[in-house]
Amino acid sequence: MSKIIQAVNSMISNSKLITNVLASTSKEYFFLYNQKYKWSMRKVNLDEYSLWFYPGTQSLDELVNTLDHEWEYVQMIHYSSKDLATKESLDSFKELFTILEEKVFGMDSVLDDIISDLPF
């Protein structure tokens, strides 16, 4: 298993460490992991996801608002489920993307509220 898949699986297992999820106009989700690592993720098509890591000094807000012609100046590392080409990578990327979607729409709070109404 590649290190990036191990890292993605760790993010999934520790999803409470995923914070500050912001959506861009291109349905790309930018987020912090463990309050220090900047990432973004986009669903390219049904069977392909892209994940980027940003080691530079830009804030998430700056990254979300980066214009198309400015991306060439942004330091980043790109990972693609297509390039990794395993079922595990696709499944892991898909699960992380779902977590990001749920976080950007505040589903944790919604689901917790609904669950707390159960008569247990």
Q: What is the domain partition of the chain in residue ranges? A: 3-116
Residue 11 backbone dihedrals phi, psi, to 5 degrees = -60, -40
Q: Are strands 37-45 and 28-33 parallel, antiparallel or unpaired?
A: antiparallel
The rounded distance, in Å, linking the Cα atoms of 114 and 10 is 27
- Kindly report the pTM of this predicted structure: 0.89
Residues 38-89 have pLDDT tens digits of 999 999 998 899 999 999 999 999 999 998 899 999 999 999 999 998 899 9
Q: How does residue 28 score in pLDDT terms, banded at 50, 70 and 90?
A: very high
Name beta bridge partners: 77.
53
- Residue length of the chain: 120
Q: Mean pLDDT throughout 2-10?
A: 96
Report the distance separating Cα 42 and Cα 23, nearest Å.
10
Query: Confidence band (pLDDT; 50, 70, 90) for 23?
Result: very high
